[in-house]
Chain A
């Protein structure tokens, strides 16, 4: 199959997504809920691109290529909405994400600086009882990567998404923390988390974050 990315032709296999085509062409669109080890999820909407002949931008991670498609990674509406979405997501955190995180990098890439939103933010809630893994719920942006990697790659099913709407978050086990769950301490969740909501404790100590014990 042949598609065009920003005017440049690229050959992709049957079933490839727009995101795969973009990457094959050496172009870039930012992503937040995407991890190539996992099935595409389509939650963050930061990977929006324009497609010729379609009136609305589409999520590149979940949209399959069709032969002859012309993809525009610089589509103004797509970029505008992606920026607005990242600004919204930053506004749910009580403090800005650490500079080394994927979220902070995507915000820089999209030029999202000063937040204009005030209003509700996530409540601080920490679980520090596991010897290696720390969970800071207020930094969670519900990208689902940790839950999916624990399900799709590790097969441990220790994590779940919780709540809905603005209160959506994640929990280990029956919300009793990693230690009292089926967690096998592989660290895959911490590895994929784009915000440091789940981190390896040693890294957290290096970053000098203060922590308090959670109430289960």
Chain B
């Protein structure tokens, strides 16, 4: 029955595309998490009243973050072609999508990290200082653990945006469900393929949202 309803869907190829979407999302998410935390920490620490208060540095990072957030993702991919080519050695395929995916979402996540860190009780940071904690201890043992639920819910929001970006990256032949829907579905007028890809992407979004919410709730001991 399924075969009658979806005559153009080839399960093995669809599965391959789904795995590619997962691959791009997860690797880009790891990169985004690391880069975003670094950006968020820098924004937070160099802001007014911060441990490394530095107006100039803060302005530079904030401007960079804002510029990259302002560039539409599809244009970012094109702009990054030379960089991607240099880094990956090609501009096609899943790996070639990664630099754009990470650079496109890390500034967004960086802002979420900054907001999460601002929510950490100033009194707790002060208590750690009063105990003689180093800045690195304050970052690793106070700021990050105390903001962890917000960091995780932030990365969940980012993950969902990222899944969208992976679909857009399909346009440059990155593989994944977006690519599949475009080349095998849209271009061959196989609307059943487009439909199945859409459903799969929605399911993937739900999976990420569910995992993120569960972890956030587990972590939150407030």
A binds B: no
* A interface residue numbers (CB < 8 A to B): none
* B interface residue numbers (CB < 8 A to A): none
